Structure 1
Amino acid sequence: MRRSMSGRLAVAACSLSLLTALAPAAAAQADGGHDRSYKRVGYFTQWGVYGRDFQVQDLETSGTAGKLTHINYAFGNISAEGRCFTGNVPGEADAWADYVRPLDAANSVDGVADSAEQPLAGNFNQLRELKAKHPGLKVLLSLGGWSWSTHFSDAALTPASRKALVQSCIDLYIKGNLPQDGARGGAGAAAGLFDGIDLDWEWPGSAGDTDTAYRPEDRENFAALVKEFRTQLDAYARSQKRKQKYELTAFVPTAPAKIDAGFDVRRIMRDLDFVNLQGYDFHVSGEPVTAQQSALRARGDFSVAGTVEAWRHRGAPAEKLVMGMPFYGQGWTGVTGGGDGMGRPATGPAPATWAAGYEDYKALKKLADSGRYKVYRDRREGHAWLFDGSTLWTYDDPQVLRTKTEYIRENGLGGAMFWSLDADTADGELMTAVDRGLHGR
């Protein structure tokens, strides 16, 4: 009897060991090949399809799509009446890029050209095709951003205005009831595309863009708005008998003063699935002195670790904190004072491809490889910069990102977020570095 039981236990132990070994792979396969242990959230910019010619298909050809868990589509806008809306309104909405623009076979994820009759084209249709190839991938609509947070404070002001805003966002993006534009759009045209909403109000209770309203009540109203989104998203999921809930996330600031002015941390974290921490723009090229924009640690200055600590100190669970990482750099020119250029006066933002003082990583990599710039590193504080004696660029490269992913693993954080996917190299160098780092490779 003992021998028989011993044998059974040995077989059971062997089977359990085998199942344990296979479980991660099985879970990944069941989820479309995605490892869900860490979130990897990339922002896809609506306007990147123009000058940068960065199409949704590029996420597939670069291998990036298979390494992401979430794509945040940037951005959706709120009208002066407090409603989510879209259309072809210069500077306010771009339905052409979103769902009207036809793509040919060469630029389509599935290799099939869009027809004139289909109700959904543009970026939305390509994201739908990308999800079909990667069933575990989630797409969230990011609402607001620096330029389009204008009407957030007004829209969140009363229970009635919050309810109306959330209803309009769910109708437009979750239910997919897009405005008719010729053959495009219509009821349910984008149904099933978006898996949730990302709130990018910059910033409740604090100054943002020049035309963005803010008021002391924003802190309370933001928490109430989060609750209203959570309530309506859950109710709609139940009505559709959806197995997975719709996700609700937010992009949140690094400065303690902005956190305290706008965010009731313990309260909002109960309703948010996770938050994407600002991990960049600690210093920008408009400042008169060069400085780091995204250091992991920085004594007496803003930093990634300081941001994590600020949110945890206020009650945010570590596993709901997703670290923001820049796929771009901030740059100054006319730097004087010699040395490595850091902490030196400058005459202004450095010339760049799209906007002075702001350059994509793929362009900065070429500068680093050109031999004209020297790469400097502060290994203790975890950041890097390029300097040629006059022009300085502070940025994250694969080596910096490996240090940051180690910090994520050591501190039990929820994962990594990237602004923005169109700034990476054609072979997804930064995305690969983050993915490997999160896997401890």
Structure 2
Amino acid sequence: MNYKQIFGITIPIFVDSAFIVLISILNTAMISSSGVAAVSAVSVVDSLNMFIISVFIAIATGGTVIVAQYKGNRDLKQASSAATQAISSVTVIAIVISLLAIIFHSPILNVLFGSADVDVLANAKIFFIGSCISYPFIGIYQAIVGVLRGVGETKASLALSLILNLSYFILNIILITLLDMGVLGLVISLIVARVLGAIVSLIYLIRFNETLRIKLGSMLKVHISILKKIMFIGLPFAAEQLFFNGGKLLTQTFIVQFGTLAITVNAISNSLSMLFQIGGTALSVAVVTVVGQCMGRKEITDARKFIKSFLGLSSIFFVFITIIILLLFPMLVNIYTPPASIVPDIYRLILLLSVAQPLVWSLSFILPSALRAAGDSKYTSITSLLTMWLFRVILGYVLGVTLQYGLMGVWIAMVAEWAVRGFIFTWRFKGDKWYKHKLI
């Protein structure tokens, strides 16, 4: 694999990440026009949605890794079988979780966010039920995009992402901005866009994809040996994501205690933080395909070289984007039309990210993606779980609640967790155990 091929894989993912972030920011800005109760409700439910959707993404990532390694080994028949198993397993899991979440939506929200204001909780219930309905469709979409990235077809995954996210954005303009439907409009847009994304993805994979050559009937067959390989990567990652996002969800309950304005500060700051992470997020996705295919060809030296290149490039992206965001901060924050009293709080959180992310984010997120692509899933999962709960959750509670540093204390704990986790993954990468696993 050479750098020209890597750029061919990475650039569409970068464009995809940038587009998703832009749409997310504009969607948050649109719902902000419906008031702080609406944006706060969407923010708290989004943390719960990420907790659930991370399971689908984790299993889909298992499919990406196995498909990439078979592609690197030039065994397209097994790559096709791995793709069908990934898609069918994610779909079944998504349907089960969707039904359970709809049935128990009220006690779930009351336990997690019962201390929120009444109007925030009412909007949260509407958004959560709508999100639950969309889970099977976003699961199908994520699984298909994952296997396409595994074989290096990132242009196709970009096109599918554009269809899903652009339709979501356009529907939000119509239903939220023009018809002033608030959270209900957001829910309708979300469901319609994800149904469209799932349908178009299936049509492309079955009728137009020439690499995997998948038939609809093959998704109904079970291949135990391949499914085990996918779950070897997917299940530890799913457990990691559940506990990792569970920790983030728990910190959200801390933030709810700080009041509706603090929830709004957190929501806007999180939305802006996505701008910082455009380059890093794209590289953390692309490195799975690159390292997976290198491991399939047993090219350990290449894998090391490309991982180092990705880490260096990510740090450059962070410095470049940080300078732009700090210069444009007044204009960017005005997109959300926040109360003037919370703008200084948002700026302080953005300054914290400006210092921390160029130093530690890449080591904390790109490195574990690379190690996981080589089959080192248990180590990365255990490390992420321990650092999340010891630092982001426990330290976050101590700083934010006990010592009363509030939202800033919670964010400082998050940065501390990135630093510790990045150090541990760097130490692992310098050794040789991470590439000793045999998946195919």
Q: TM-score, normalised by structure 2?
A: 0.29
Q: TM-score, normalised by structure 1?
A: 0.29
| Structure that is richer in strand per residue | 1
| Structure that is richer in helix per residue | 2
Structure with max Cα Rg: 1
Specify which structure has the bigger relative contact order, considering alpha-carbon pairs within 8 angstroms and separated by 6 or more residues. 2
